[in-house]
Structure 1
Amino acid sequence: MGENNILGMGGLTSLESRKQVNEEYASNVPMTFRPVYESAIKNSSNKESARIKVENYKNNIILFAGCEDKLWPSDTMAEQIKNKKPKNTDLCLYPDVGHVIGGLAEYDNLKMGGDVEASQKAKKDSDEKLYKALKSWHKKIWIFK
C-alpha cells in the first residue's frame, strides 16, 4: 500500500479524498463522498471479483441515475452495468440530477448534488418510465398511490 493511500470505504482511498471529507466535516459544510468512492474503485485490486455479475441475470433491469450525484458515482456504476448487460437493460441518466431523484441537493450535512427543479422533473419522468417498464414486463401490476 502506497504512502498516499489508506484503507477505507471498502478499498484503498487516496489521502487527498479522505482529507477533503475530513475538512468538510470539520468545517461543518455539506460533505461529498463521491471522491472517496472513486478513489477506492480506482485503487482496488479486486474490481472484477467484487463486481456483481449482472450479465448472468436473465431478468430485465432498469436503472436511473443522476449525473451530478455527489454521494457516490451512481451514473458511472449504472453505465458499467448497462455495458456488461446491454440486452434487457434500460439506462436513464439525468444530467442535472444528484443522488436523490426527486429530492434535495443537500440533506443532513451531506451533498446529494444536482438541481432541485431538474430532480423534480426527473422524478416524474423516472416514475413514468418505471411504470411503463413494469407494465410491459408483467401481465398485472398494482400501483398504490
Structure 2
Amino acid sequence: MNKFFPMNNGGGMGGNGNWKKSLPNFLGEDFFSDFQNLIFDNNGPKLNIYENGNELLCIFALPGLKLEEVDIYAYEKTLEVRGTLHVDYNGFRLIQEEITQGQFKRTVELPYPVRDDKVDASYQRGVLIIHLHRLIRSTPVKKKVNIQNLDDE
C-alpha cells in the first residue's frame, strides 16, 4: 500500500477523497506555498522597471494608496518606497481579501546609480510612477592632498 495515495477497498484511488488529503505529503509541505509566491509577492507591491537611455520609470501597482502616507527615497542604486494601502468600503464587511492592505515597504536595486535631486513621482488610478535619471559623474580628477607638518608647530 502506498502511504501517499492510500487505496480504498477496491484497490484504486477511489472516490473517497483520501488522495486529496495525502497530496501535501506526496508533494512536500511547502509545495503549494511556492506557487502562492508567484501570485503574491512577499517583497512588497508588484513593480515594473522601464529604461530609456539615461532614464528609468518604476511603475508600482498600489491600489488604495494615500499620498500623505507614502515615502519615496532614491539614493545611489537603490529605490525605496514605504506606505500604507487602504482598500476598504465603509458599511461593507470584507468577505474575501486578495488585494494586499496595510503597511508595505519595497526596496529595489536599480541597474545604475540615480540622481537624488531629479526624481519625479505621480499617482493615478492605483499606479505609482517614479521617474529617475542616471547619475552621470564627471571624469575623475586627480587631486593632490596637502600634508600638514605637525613638527613645525
Report the TM range for the smaller structure's normalisation.
under 0.3
Q: TM-score, normalised by structure 2?
A: 0.19
Which has more radius of gyration?
A: 2
The answer to which structure has the higher helix fraction is 1
